[in-house]
Amino acid sequence: MHAAAHPRVVAVVGAGARAAEWATRFLAAGLDVVVDDRNVAAAVADLWPSAQRLGLFPGADPTRLRVGTADEIAAADVVQQVTGDVPVTARGMIATESTACGCSPIHLLPLVELSSAAPAGLASFYMSLGMTPVGPEASAAERARLGDDIVRLADGDADTIIALMRALRATGTHITNGAGEAIARREALRYSAGACPPWRPGDVVATPLALYNTPVEPDWVDYNGHMTEAAYLTAAGWASDALFRYIGDDEEYRAGGHSFYTVETHVHYLLEVSVHEPITFETQVLGVDAKRLHLVHSMYHGGTNALLCTAEQMLVHVDMAAGRSAPIQPNVAAALAAIAAAHAALPIPQQVGSVMHLPSPFRSS
């Protein structure tokens, strides 16, 4: 049996809640899923809203699940066995409840426990889904904080599980291998999976850049079902992250002690948008110098193309170890210079540079 370099089709063998949770996890990661039990599809439909709330990888779609034959199960890159028998002709990696056991609800929690008998490629496969595989050497405490502790604190409620993990995301590196760190890694994987290839010298720069799109996530809406004012900026932040990856400011760049910090933002709210509606961003570089970057994101409705908001930002490049501004590194500076040159002829959105004020009631007209 062989391990596919980039598994695209996963089979789930068996029935019941755990089979549906595994299928949902794989679908949310943008994979094709084959199951051998028709009831799994209905159960996935019930789990899908919570998977959406946790966040979907590019291409994730519940319609990519199908009930397959034994031959289709056998042809999958990975077979996740919950109950029942795996076809003897299976050619991909095989994971069983004894070799790769997820912590329920599997579609939300990062923990997957691998035995010493697990195929070598399974750990990297689960990591690509945003999960955290642990081996037999992991302590009970390490396992608990990736799974059972979260379930107990949340009393099993899916929404509370997601909220707890996101709250733990900000705890920092002093809590290693916990759910907060795991969800931070998953978010980085999820957004980088949809990123454009980084700029290279000689590349033609789009005018403007279109690097990020997403449905409005459930966590971004208020009690009226509309995107909150803070969420507009959150979405713009992910558009900035897409730009950073395009110019070469990725995990390796930040690990080297360099990053961009936002020092000023002006957001213009033009239209409301509701949960799960599609939004797209156009990004325009307005100016760049040795240490600063001036840009504007324009957020559009993905269906109507109506302008929803603009977010104008000034960022400064920072040496994080020194704690002060520093020149942009050469490769990133070259990318920004190319983008700025390509965008120089673009019309500037009317919201750029506006000043917020009310006329003085004491000033004569």
Residues 207 and 333 reside in one and the same domain: yes
Residue 210 and residue 131 share a domain? no
Query: If you search the block for the tokens 């449905």, which residue do you land on?
Result: 215
Backbone phi and psi for residue 125, each to the nearest 5 degrees, phi listed first: -65, -50
- Same domain, yes or no, for 163 and 206? no
Rounded mean pLDDT of 130-149?
94
Matching residue, tokens 């759910």: 179
Q: Are residues 14 and 161 in the same domain?
A: yes
Domain CATH for 241:
3.10.129.10
Q: Are residues 111 and 153 located together in one domain of the fold?
A: yes
Range from 98-112, 155-169, 237-251 carrying the lowest mean pLDDT? 155-169
**Is the model more confident about 340 or about 41?**
340
Regarding whether 14 and 130 lie in a shared domain, the answer is: yes
Please tell me whether residues 75 and 131 are part of one structural domain. yes
Query: Which CATH number covers residue 95?
Result: 3.40.50.720
Do 150 and 205 lie in one domain? The reply is: no
Does the pLDDT value for residue 225 go beyond 70? yes
Higher per-residue pLDDT: 104 or 163: 104
Determine, yes or no, domain membership for 162: yes
Residues 241 and 119 occupy one common structural domain: no
DSSP state of 155: T
What is the value of pTM for the model shown? Answer: 0.74
Is residue 254 in a domain?
Answer: yes
- Tell me which of 150 and 5 has the higher pLDDT: 150
Residue 262 in domain: yes
Q: Could you tell me if 34 and 138 lie in one domain?
A: yes
Whether 362 is covered by a domain: the verdict is: no
Any domain includes 13: yes
My answer on whether omega of the bond before 49 falls inside 30° of 0, hence cis, is: no
Same domain, 23 and 127: yes
Instruction: Give the span between the Cα atoms of 187 and 8, in whole angstroms.
Output: 20
Query: CA 272: distance to chain centroid?
Result: 23
**Domain with 339 in it:** 199-343
CB 146 within 8 A of CB 123: no
- Are residues 121 and 79 both part of a single domain? yes
Residue 107 · residue 18 · CB < 8 Å: no
159, part of any domain: yes
What is the tally of structural domains in the chain?
Answer: 2
Q: Is the pLDDT of residue 172 over 60?
A: no
Question: Where is average pLDDT lowest: 21-30, 187-196, 224-233, 253-262?
Answer: 187-196
In a domain, 177, yes or no: no
Q: Please give the distance of CA 349 from its chain centroid, rounded to a whole number.
A: 29
Task: Kindly state whether residue 17 falls inside one of the protein's structural domains.
Answer: yes
Q: What is the average pLDDT across 313-319?
A: 98
Q: What is the pLDDT of residue 87?
A: 94
Amino acid at 133: P
